[in-house]
Amino acid sequence: MRLFFFMLIFSTQFSLAGGFTEAIFENDFKAVKELIDQGYHLAKDADAVPTAISTGSLEMLLFLLKHGADPNTFTRTYRYNGLNIRHVLGDTSSIGQIVALLSYGAVAHDGPNGHKWDYNMAIVDKRWLHVAVYYYWERMLMHNIPTPPNSISELNTIIMSLPLLTIKALAVFTEHQFNLEDILTLLPNYLKSFFRVFLNFHEED
Q: Binning pLDDT at 50, 70 and 90, where does residue 175 land?
A: confident
Q: Average pLDDT, stretch 6-35? A: 72
Give the CA distances from residue 46 to residues 52, 96, 203, in Å, rounded to whole numbers and listed in that order: 11, 20, 42
Q: How far apart are CA 49 and CA 60, in angstroms?
A: 9
Highest mean pLDDT among 76-80, 173-177, 186-190: 173-177
| Banded model confidence at residue 24, pLDDT cuts 50, 70, 90 | very high
- Separation CA 117–CA 120 (nearest Å): 7
Q: Which amino acid is at 47?
A: D
Whole-angstrom CA distances from 36 to 19, 32, 70, 95, 111 are: 11, 6, 14, 28, 29
